[in-house]
Every structure is written in structure tokens, then in C-alpha cells.
Amino acid sequence: MIAGAFDIGGTSIKYGVLNEQGDILFKSKTPTKAKEGGKAVVGQVIELTKSLQKDYQLDGIAISTAGQINSQEGTVIFATDSLPGYTGLNIKKEVEKVFDLPVVVDNDVNCAAIGEYWLGAAQGVDQFLCMTLGTGIGGAIVINGQVYNGEAYSAGEFGHMTLYPGGYPCLCGDEGCYEQYASSKALEQRAQHALEQSITLPELFDKARAGDKLSESIIEQWIDDVALGIKSLVHIFNPPLIVIGGGVSEQGDYLLDKLQRRVEARIMSSFQKPLTIKFAKNGNDANLQGAVRCLSLPEFCREDG
């Protein structure tokens, strides 16, 4: 089986051609026409598929996307303003209208979790949590090797746990959500505020590694908040593994060691022993790989698959 695979985000669409083993035969990306609305974004997927078909005989189309997704219908249940007009769109139906091929659509963090379970950091671990620290915080819950979807396919919104009641306003309409404090974007904003200049996260981490005390303390405070959310998740799920994805995972052991120590200090000792925190291994490739896995073996992605 050869699949066209897509990972739709608010800023770019990563896409490629993968075989059944998850090998990436071709990969590229293009800016998302988010401002033109959801239908235009699906139109991009259709056009890109046509261009892939010029070089590859595709057997299916696998789509990983931002937003809460009813993976059975292929519908966007809810997406934030980063993808306007996306909510309510039936991506699967729109794509199937054009191609006589099987199409699967699932949430990007669910796809990342399945991809990491298949070929990455969670290989051989049947119960784990996957969390992505990006513009927001996404989550996926894997139980017995399957993504747990919840009643309305929306389970795992770790980013909207309340961390500080009455805190910063959140896109969800509430205040004080975890992602307002512990996302990569939140760290960037903290750094800009404290250093009074715009700084990228790699630059911030470089400064901290070089011994800049202020940069270090900004990172430490942020890690405290990241650990606070993980503490709740660990006490609810008692997982043996948490896989963390998103841009900060490039910071490797410097960040991971601090985070692991901070989490251990906060959780009950009975929860510590089996717990490992790892960074995702395959980055965005995991989203493509996970989506393709869902295409060939839907039971990994849905309890009703």
C-alpha cells in the first residue's frame, strides 16, 4: 500500500508519500491557506493529492489535522480560529468526492501518538499519554494500544485543565488553562516579557545553557508549570510513559532531566517507579506515519475501528 499523507496545521501543511511500513518515500510542505477558510484548506489537500498522483499510484489518503475530529465520520467537531471555517467541515466526504480512494482523518495528536507507538518513542508500550507543547497543548490517551476517543471524539484536551483559576484568558472561553502557562508559546511570551526583547526558544535555551541566570529562571518557572499539569495526569492515569512532542523536544536532556526531576518531586512516590518521560522521536513524521497506520489498521485509532 502506498498512501498520500497530510498533516494540516494552522501555519503549514506537511505532506508526503508513505508505504505500509511507514517509510517516507517523499515529503514536502506548503503554507496553509488558513485565512481563506476550511474549504480552501481541503482544496489544497485535493490539489496536492493530484500532484502526488502524477508520480505515485496512491492506494489511500491519510489525513492528520489540528482540531477535534470525529474520526469515524471524518468531520471537524471543533477547531480554533487558527483554522477559520474549519468547524463542521466533513473533510473525509469532501476528499472522497474527488478520489475513489479510502480516506481517513484524525486529530494530529492522536496521529502523533499512534506514529510514536508504531515507530517511535512509545514502541512496545501499550499504555501511555502523548502531549504536544506547541501554540497550545494537545493530548492523546493510549490504552491497550488504542487511542481513547471519549464520547464525542474529543478526549485528551490536556491543554484545558485549569492550572490557575481566574488566570489568563484562554481560546476555549475559560481562564487559567494549562496551555496558557505551559505551551511552547507561553514560554516564548514569558521570555519576551522578562527579557524585553523577542527571542526564539532555541536562543533562550542557548542562553540558559551558557549560564544566563535570567534565561534559566524563565525556563525553570515554565518547567514548574509543565510539571504541575503532568502531576494531575500522572495521578489520574498512572501511566508508565508520557511522550512529549512539539518544538521544545529538540532541547533534549537539558530540558528532560529538569522536567523529570520536577515531576518526581510533585507526584506521590507510588506513582514514580513506573513513570518515564520521553520526548517524541519522529517529530512531524509521526503524524504522517500515525495517519497512515490508521488507514491500514483503523482499530489503532478508534475503539469502533
Question: Could you list the residues that contact Zn ion (CB under 5 A)?
Answer: 160, 170, 172, 177
Closest separation in Å from C-beta 161 to Zn ion: 9
For residue 84, the minimal CB distance to Zn ion (Å) is 18
Contacts of 169 (CB under 8 A, 6+ apart): 175, 180
Given the complex with Zn ion, which of 99 and 168 has the nearer CB atom?
168
> How many angstroms separate the CA atoms of 262 and 224, rounded?
7
Q: Which is nearer to Zn ion, 124 or 165 (CB)?
A: 165
The nearer residue to Zn ion, 108 or 116, going by C-beta atoms, is 108
Task: With beta carbons less than 8 A apart as the criterion, state whether 108 and 212 touch.
Answer: no
Nearer to Zn ion, 48 or 170 (CB): 170
Minimum separation from the CB atom of position 150 to Zn ion (A): 16
Q: Which runs of consecutive H residues, i.e. helices, occur in the chain?
A: 38-53, 91-96, 108-119, 179-182, 184-195, 201-209, 213-237, 252-266, 269-272, 283-296
Rank residues 169 and 202 by Cβ distance to Zn ion and give the closer one.
169
CB of 217 to Zn ion, least distance (A): 26
Nine-digit cell at 115?
506514529
CB of 78 to Zn ion, least distance (A): 12
Cα(243)–Cα(283) distance, integer angstroms = 11
